[in-house]
Amino acid sequence: MAKEIETVSAPSAIGPYSQGVKSGNMLFLSGQIPIEPALGEVVPGGIEAQTRQVLKNLGEVLKEGGATFGHVVKTTVYLKDLKKFPEMNSLYAEYFTPPYPARVTVEVSELPKGVEIEIDAIAVID
């Protein structure tokens, strides 16, 4: 049976979805955008500030689900501008260690609230 994962330490869902869902030993995290949860606002700054906030938000949902970045096996990164990949990738590498999760990175024409990045994840908890 699936269990909803929700924390006030990450932005609330802005639609009919959960921050995360735990099913068995798997944890599925919805895409996080760079919203500072306490303010409910997009963080100011460019791709670096936004990437840090997205990863921080993902970390909070992982924690609530009993996982860490080390449990993540797959991510999808959505970038508004693929030219900003090097900056995102550098910060991403601060949060993930070998064996790195499988990853897809795509450029999209638009993201919610006009942000530059969104990341979702799948984790397996031993």
- The total of structural domains in the chain comes to 1
Q: What is the CATH number of the domain that holds 34?
A: 3.30.1330.40
pTM comes to 0.96
Q: In the numeric block, which tokens belong to residue 75?
A: 């991510």
Give me the mean pLDDT over the 75-80 stretch: 98
Q: In the numeric block, which tokens belong to residue 103?
A: 């990853």
Cα radius of gyration rounded to whole Å, the chain: 14
What are 11-27's pLDDT values in tens digits? 998 889 999 999 999 99
Residue 117 has pLDDT above 90, yes or no: yes
Tell me which residue range forms the domain holding 14: 2-124
CA separation for the pair 83, 43 (Å, rounded):
20
